[in-house]
Chains A and B, each alone.
Chain A
Amino acid sequence: MLSDSNSCGSKLLLALPDDIFAVVTRSLRPKDVSNLSVCCRNLNIHASSDKVWLTQCELLGVIPHKDLIEWRKGVSSYKALCRFLVYVQPLIGIWVHQNPELGNVVYVMPGFISLVGCRIIPQELGPLGIEEGPILWSPVFEILGNVDGSSSFIFHGRERDNNYMYPGSIKGIDRNCNVLLLEVEPRTQRNGGKLVHSKSFVSTPNHVDKEFSRKICPSDRGVSVSQRLQGSKPSVPFSRLSFCDRKKLLEIVTRQIRVKVPQSEDGLCFPCLETEDFNKLSERRVRLTQMYDNGLNTDPTQSDLGEIRKLFDNSQHHRYVHRVQSSKKKTLAGYFTDSFKHIIGKSSSINGSHEHSKSSSSSETIKHAQFQEFLRSGDTIGLTLHASTARLSSYRAWPNMHDSRFALYKLPKQEPLTGQEHAGLWAGTFGWPPGKPSADKPGKALFFLLLSYEESQGQRHLIGTKILEGTHYVLHPNGSAMFIVNINEPSDESFPWDCDGDSNFHDLKEVFSGEGIANGYGFRYPGSKPGSLFVFEDGMLVFTWKESRAALTLQRVNLQDLLKKGERVPPLPPIANFAYLTKSYSNVYAGFSNALNHTSSPRGFFEEGVQETSAVIATRKSVSGIRIGRI
């Protein structure tokens, strides 16, 4: 379509001043701006300008303008910053897990040239009320933005009184992700030298150890970490491995890659939460990046090597067994030692129950085969974060979750818009009048609820889903609807109390009737009883149970603001610090009383040396619960 007008137009397009070009690209997405870069050299220069990409960063709406200016100082360009923000944006929000039943809430928010995942732990109302807290939180993970805009994953945990960081990679972030998985990923080493194949593990021990060193922790420091280690696509994904294999892999890898956070750095401010001093944050970022790189360069200890060797050796043996089993069935009994009996079934009963042992051994063999296949996909393994999209059903705004995945599930964002004014995150306590705890009054359990709207049978309902409960021992399952009210029909119920304890009158705006949670058929199946939701002019919500006159008083909260004034407590050991899969009804996050020097709480249920099984319910005699007392 050649025409004089177009020919003139293209020259003029290239001749537009930067700021006018930025006005044009303001209506474009990053993809379209990038397309312009590919068109020709001149357009590449125009489309790469900081003005254009600053506008793109602003349009994303992840962080305010003033923060963009600060973050820019740590990256090579606004384009690099945009690359980072586009990549990590889908992670921002509230992530939860069913267990422990008191609540596992991880809020992912912008840090400093990073994204941070912070857990709000079950707690009582702070001495200064909800707004000033301080709210207790612990670090879970960080995603650092590198100079070129790429991302690095750092997982946090605590082992034997030391804080550690666990450097890893990011497998991928789906745009519409709703499940966040902690996984182990096989990797191929790209160091230009010989790739070490797992077959070499049958050679001499010294040689094997050396090969292990090179395998697990590449020593090629000249190449950047992300270039050196490349995730490989295993034919068997991590998620298909058995729970035990997945747990084992995570334990081995975290033990191997952990980097101790030096004592002096324990005061390292978690970005955006404990300081806004740009210099301090920059310094921390530099140190963290160094620790991250060192972590991936450290040679493993001998015991780590031994453990990993056992892992590979077992996979070799099982592969051998599998091969022999398939080719020499008649002479099985003659060749296997006791240690393989569990695979083929009892040797004495081979003839008689061959079919039975074949089926049970075949499922085990399949599992082992999958495990081998997984390990064979690369020549080293590492920790990785994977944000994927799963088809999840939900009940009353709470996703139905797997209980054996090391996963967190994203709660859909609830925005207060016209027609759904009350949607969003609220926090509150039981009791009327609402008030700050004092020295003579015991602390009130802090509840966090996510309010959302649902349409069913022609009626519109407002649901208050409990996501965090600050009692000592949980009352109702995590994710229960504390109340459901009918928004279509206002009620003329009157508020049971005239005023609060301070003689403050609250102007009532509207009332809705519905039901509040009550005891039902055991813990798992709560019932409901009639109640009403009172909406006040000052924005406060109070749900009262008609019969018992219990009252749950709520106010809207902004987690980011709360966390900025919060108080950090130590995290759990790794893996549990991501997803705590041992069924628990009490506060597993508050076991570290050394960080709370004003508490006299007994130690938590997560103690060193306690055997974790998936069926354990933490009901020890010492359950008076974990009290996080405050002065």
Chain B
Amino acid sequence: MSQTVVLEQNAVETQSITLKFDGCSSDANPSPIVNPENQSITIKFDDQASNHHTIPVSIPNVDSETEAAVNEFLRKHGSSDEESVRTDAMNDLWSFIERQEIGTVVVLVKFASDVKNFELLEIFCQRVADVIAKKTVEEVREIFNIANDFTPEEEQAIRDEHRWAFED
């Protein structure tokens, strides 16, 4: 899977360039393709960028079982072009991640972002989102061990500000 980042030139005088995101991180290594019509530059992350993770990687702040599961995914996913093999690899990793503590998953999100592996990023971000979805504020605080540093008045003000979103 290749990712695309589009750079657009937004001021001819200053030659400044704005980076637009497509859910990807900002660093870019591959060569850019310039579109002369609109001055946009397209940078494609080709499959090589993610395929170099077929060698086992070391993941900081996680246990060995987790590291092994991620590496197993990378091996299986990178080894074949067949849709069924890649889907199986994703399903296996997904089942494993669902059993892990959310703190571990967030660590993995950071890892995936750092190494720019977008398949891993999608899976781990989806898991974090699933944990947050449809929970109350108190439940989210408990799950992520977040201390409430609002005063009661401040909290009420934020709730009031978002009342439109809470109405179903």
Contact = CB atoms under 8 A, between A and B. Distances in A.
A and B physically associate: yes
B7 interface: no
A5 to B, nearest CB: 4
Interface in A1-23: 1-10, 12-13, 15-17, 19-20, 22-23
B144 A35 contact: no
Contact of B21 (A1, A19, A39, A83): A19
B121 A9 contact: no
Contacts, number: 139
Contacts of B137: 35, 38-39
B109 interface: yes
20 contacts: A1-B143, A6-B102, A6-B103, A7-B145, A10-B145, A12-B106, A16-B109, A19-B23, A27-B129, A27-B133, A29-B133, A31-B166, A32-B133, A35-B135, A35-B136, A37-B158, A38-B137, A38-B158, A39-B144, A39-B148
B110 interface: yes
B142 interface: yes
Interface in B98-156: 101-107, 109-110, 113, 121-122, 125-126, 128-130, 132-137, 140-150, 155
Interface of B: 21, 23-26, 61, 101-107, 109-110, 113, 121-122, 125-126, 128-130, 132-137, 140-150, 155, 158-159, 162, 164-166, 168
Given A5-B101, A8-B103, A12-B106, A30 B143 contact: no
What's the dominant secondary structure at chain B's contact region?
A: helix
Residue in B109, B134, B144 with the greatest tally of chain A CB atoms within 10 Å: B144
A8 B150 contact: no
A38 B162 contact: yes
A37 B106 CA distance: 18
Contacts of A87: 164
Given A25-B129, A30-B165, A39 B109 contact: no
B132 A20 contact: no
Interface of A: 1-10, 12-13, 15-17, 19-20, 22-41, 43-44, 51, 83, 86-87, 149, 175
Nearest to A12: B106
Given A8-B61, A10-B103, 18 more contacts: A6-B101, A6-B103, A7-B103, A9-B145, A10-B145, A10-B146, A13-B106, A15-B110, A16-B106, A22-B21, A24-B109, A24-B125, A28-B129, A31-B166, A31-B168, A32-B129, A83-B164, A87-B164
A24 B112 CA distance: 13
B150 to A, nearest CB: 7
A17 B25 CA distance: 9
